[in-house]
Amino acid sequence: MRMGVRSRGERHNEMQKYEETEHRRAQRGRPKEKLERMLTGFIWLSHHLGLAGLKSWIPSILLLVFLVLSTWILIYGLTCVQRYRINCKRLRCFPQPPLKNWLLGHLGLIQNSEEGLLYKQSLVYSFRDVCCWWVGAWCPVIRIFHPNYIKPVLLASGTVIPKDKLFYNFLEPWLGEGLLLSEGEKWRRHRHMLTPAFHFDILKPYVKIFNQSVDIMHAKWRRLCAEGTNYLEMFEHISLMTLDSLQKCIFSYNSNCQEKPSAYISAILELSSLVAKRHNNPLLYWDTLYNLTSQGRRFSRACHLVHDFSNAVIQERRHILAQQGTEAFLGNKRKSKTIDFIDILLLAKDEDGKALSDKDIQAEADTFMFAGHDTTASGISWALYNLAQHQEYQDRCRQEIKELLGDRQPEEIEWDDLVQMPFLTMCIKESLRLHSPVSMVSRYCTKDIQLPDGRIIPKGNICLISIFGIHHNPAVWPKPEVYDPHRFDTNNPEKISPLAFIPFSVGSRNCIGQNFALSELKVVLALTLLRFRVLPDKHPVRRKPEIILREENGLRLKVEPLLDLSSPDMHLSETSQE
């Protein structure tokens, strides 16, 4: 090759470098080109609007817009800082525990664990009534754990505001705007329309459904005991049983979920689990990021499955209602002696005669399924745990139920029996106090709230009503960690404040289904104690407050069948074995 003559490859490389250089220049010039195009467009527009004289003023106008926007941002920021300083000054009257650090505030000091509950208990012992809790550096929360201090919060007009949106927003894709998440006029309208669904006349037929569902669970327990499996995880069995009952009461649908897998029931359980996991991981609070994760995709699929099921039932029932007419439809329901939740929602009308939309009906049905299964399962499981720890109370409950039923066959709890089990009721209430399924609720203050001692919770702050704190406050309940059903004896001279016992919350946004839940609790516990002796597991219990109060490793109890060949669950067991 001759010197001074470039090869073809060298020429190609130089050409490539030249093109890359020109491309970079073009890229650098694009912002300038965009600005020129914007100015050209502005000039053209001003010319056609007769504002051609403004051409020389364009840079000044743009600068003015920039200055106005910057000033507004600065003023808004300074206003927020000033409001924050004023709020902090007004909150100085509330004591607070030592911060973790200035940035996180108290975040991370309370975990969803046994140690976290013990720390909450120490707060109650230290402050007794109220304290300030910082969620990060900017968000103060007033924690209340004395009944005298929650009264002004709940009774103040204008405070019926949804609960903590940070957590409850996780539920919105699943539950929609049902009673749990709706607010304002929509919440008031729905609450008024749904109240008849929980009237005693509607609840009476449900007692038979509770009996049937618990019979199925007990037949399964007897089979497991016969196979040598006496230690059972209570939440696993009781959650399926409560879901079985709810599906029958809401949709009049029997999925036989206690005996075989059900896609709908599996989706409900998965959604509850995914919401709890998300709540425990702040990195997943952002919806866009969560939807990209495998958990987010599973959540979306489960939501679609649940919505498809409830929507199919609603459309089918609407079709039947349209064919039969309201009077004939109600007549057929009276003959069957059971009207389910969907029927009531379809027939409900507000003061103006307007009915609920299909979307509203679906939201309320899904909300009832969510709120009704986990909380009731938790209440039943912890009640059995407490009675297993105290055999003398268990024996007394069993004797009370035997005397009530006498020689009744089949063994079945009836509606009128529910008010004739005073000691069992006392045991249930004490269990709900000691192990409340829901540990707290929150409210947003839309106005200043004055507490009994004169201190004021400023408008715009969140109040956290600690159900756990109130139920474990030694100033309210002597020896609060002791399980003592006699606290709820009607003859007890120490009268209990209505606000000292709030397992179903309190005020206008309390649990609308509490009578439904208490009825199921009584039926399940009465029949369980009649047919089984429940004994504690040897391993110590570690509580875990998530959406509801669970046990860290599952609440295992030993069950021993009490020989009674006449009981219906024995017949169910024999039939299933054949």
Q: Say if residues 305 and 217 touch (Cβ distance below 8 Å).
A: no
Q: Say if residues 513 and 368 touch (Cβ distance below 8 Å).
A: yes
Q: What is the pLDDT of residue 232?
A: 96
Q: What is the pLDDT of residue 8?
A: 55
Rounded Cα distance, 204 and 530, in Å: 22
CATH number of the domain encompassing residue 198:
1.10.630.10
Section 473-495 average pLDDT: 91
pLDDT tens-digit series, residues 137-146: 888 999 999 9
- Identity of the amino acid at 205: P
Q: Say if residues 123 and 144 touch (Cβ distance below 8 Å).
A: no
- Alpha-carbon distances, residue 373 vs 249, 259, 299, 380, 570 (angstroms): 12, 17, 18, 11, 26
Q: Say if residues 314 and 159 touch (Cβ distance below 8 Å).
A: no
Q: How many domains is the chain partitioned into structurally?
A: 1
Q: Could you list the residue range(s) of the whole structural domain that residue 409 is in?
A: 176-438+503-577
Tell me which residue has tokens 């030592």: 98
Buried b (16+ CB within 10 A) or exposed e, 473-496: beebbeebeebbbebbeeeeeeee
Q: Read off φ and ψ for residue 13, nearest 5 degrees.
A: -65, -40
pLDDT tens-digit series, residues 185-209: 888 899 999 988 888 888 999 999 9
Cα of first residue to Cα of last residue in the chain, in angstroms, is 97
Question: Which is higher by pLDDT, 577 or 409?
Answer: 409
Mapped onto helix, strand or coil, the DSSP state of residue 140 is strand
Buried b (16+ CB within 10 A) or exposed e, 279-297: beeeebeeeeebeeeebbe
On whether residue 108 sits in a domain, the answer given is: no
pLDDT tens-digit series, residues 72-85: 999 998 998 999 99
**Beta-strand pair 556-561/532-536:** antiparallel
On whether residue 213 sits in a domain, the answer given is: yes
Mapped onto helix, strand or coil, the DSSP state of residue 460 is coil
**Residues 259, 401, 339, 342, CA torsion sign:** negative
**What's the gap between Cα 324 and its chain centre?**
37
Q: What are the residues whose beta carbons fall under 8 Å from the beta carbon of 537, sequence distance 6 or more?
A: 231, 556, 557, 558
pLDDT tens-digit series, residues 293-333: 999 999 999 999 999 999 999 999 989 888 888 888 888 87
Tell me which residue has tokens 């839940």: 517
DSSP, res 464: E
Using alpha carbons, select from 179, 181, 183, 146 the residue that is nearest to residue 161. Answer: 183
Q: What is the pLDDT of residue 18?
A: 56
Q: Say if residues 364 and 348 touch (Cβ distance below 8 Å).
A: no
- Alpha-carbon distances, residue 561 vs 532, 535, 544 (angstroms): 4, 11, 29
What's the half-sphere exposure (Cβ side, CA atoms, 13 Å) at 105?
Answer: 13
pLDDT tens-digit series, residues 248-282: 999 988 888 999 888 998 999 899 889 888 877 77
Rounded Cα distance, 377 and 488, in Å: 22
Rounded Cα distance, 522 and 400, in Å: 12
Question: Which is higher by pLDDT, 191 or 62?
Answer: 191
Q: Tell me the pLDDT band of 161, cut-offs 50, 70 and 90.
A: low
Residue 511 annotated as binding site = yes
Q: What is the pLDDT of residue 49?
A: 55
On whether residue 490 sits in a domain, the answer given is: no
Q: Tell me the pLDDT band of 166, cut-offs 50, 70 and 90.
A: low
Q: Read off φ and ψ for residue 546, nearest 5 degrees.
A: -115, -125
- Identity of the amino acid at 198: F
Rounded Cα distance, 77 and 89, in Å: 18
Q: What is the pLDDT of residue 110?
A: 87
Using alpha carbons, select from 85, 80, 92, 82 the residue that is nearest to residue 457. Answer: 92
Task: Give CA angle at 51 (46, 57), nearest 5°.
Answer: 85
- Alpha-carbon distances, residue 160 vs 187, 190, 447 (angstroms): 10, 14, 11
On whether residue 388 sits in a domain, the answer given is: yes
On whether residue 122 sits in a domain, the answer given is: no
Q: What are the residues whose beta carbons fall under 8 Å from the beta carbon of 358, sequence distance 6 or more?
A: 311, 314, 315, 318
Buried b (16+ CB within 10 A) or exposed e, 343-375: bbbbbbeeeeeeebeeebbbbbbbbbbbbbbbb
Q: What is the pLDDT of residue 421?
A: 96
On whether residue 400 sits in a domain, the answer given is: yes
What's the half-sphere exposure (Cβ side, CA atoms, 13 Å) at 77?
Answer: 6
Q: Say if residues 321 and 329 touch (Cβ distance below 8 Å).
A: yes
Section 361-376 average pLDDT: 91
On whether residue 53 sits in a domain, the answer given is: no
Judge whether residue 132 has pLDDT over 90: yes
In this structure, how many other beta carbons lie within 10 angstroms of the beta carbon of residue 327?
Answer: 8
pLDDT tens-digit series, residues 545-568: 988 899 999 999 999 999 754 444
Calculate what percentage of the chain has a pLDDT beyond 90: 51
Q: What is the pLDDT of residue 408?
A: 85
Q: Say if residues 145 and 470 touch (Cβ distance below 8 Å).
A: yes
Element (H, E) at 51: none
Q: What are the residues whose beta carbons fall under 8 Å from the beta carbon of 268, sequence distance 6 or more?
A: 243, 306, 369, 370, 373
Q: Say if residues 467 and 438 touch (Cβ distance below 8 Å).
A: yes
Helices (H), 410-513: 422-434, 467-471
